[in-house]
Amino acid sequence: MLFLPTGSAMEPGFMQQSLEQCDDELHDLILKEKQRQMRGLEMIASENFTSLAVTQCLGTCLTNKYSEGYPGQRSALFLNCRNGIEGEIKK
C-alpha cells in the first residue's frame, strides 16, 4: 500500500509557491543573512560572494539533473542531460 505524506507539501499549487509563501520565517532569515553579509567583510575564502549570474543558475531546473563523467563520455543513463551538457561545453 502506498502512503502519501500529508501537510502543506501536498496542497495544490505548492510547487509554484515562492519561499516567502511556503516558509516566511526561513525567507526572513535568508534576507537577514544577506544584509549581514552586505554590511561586513568576509575574510574566509570559502565564504566569498557568488556573482548574480551564478546565483541565478543555482536556482534553475538544471539543479534537478544528475550526471557523472565528462561531456561526451557519459553512459546512456545520462542521455537526458543534453541541455545541461550543452551548457557545460559552451565557450
User: For 26-43, how does the pLDDT look when each residue is reduced to its tens digit (9 = 90+)?
Assistant: 999 999 999 998 898 888
Cα distance between residue 54 and residue 81, in whole Å: 19
Query: What does the pLDDT read at residue 47?
Result: 82
Residue with cell 537526458: 80
Domains of the chain: which residue ranges?
17-43, 60-91
Residue 49 is classified by DSSP as P
Residues 6+ apart with CB under 8 A from 42: 48, 49
More confident residue, 45 or 65: 45
* Whether pLDDT at 85 is above 60: no
Query: What does the pLDDT read at residue 58?
Result: 87
65 confidence band (pLDDT: 50, 70, 90): confident
More confident residue, 19 or 4: 19
More confident residue, 74 or 70: 70
Alpha-carbon torsion, ordered 18, 51, 89, 46, to 10 deg: -100
CB 87 within 8 A of CB 67: no
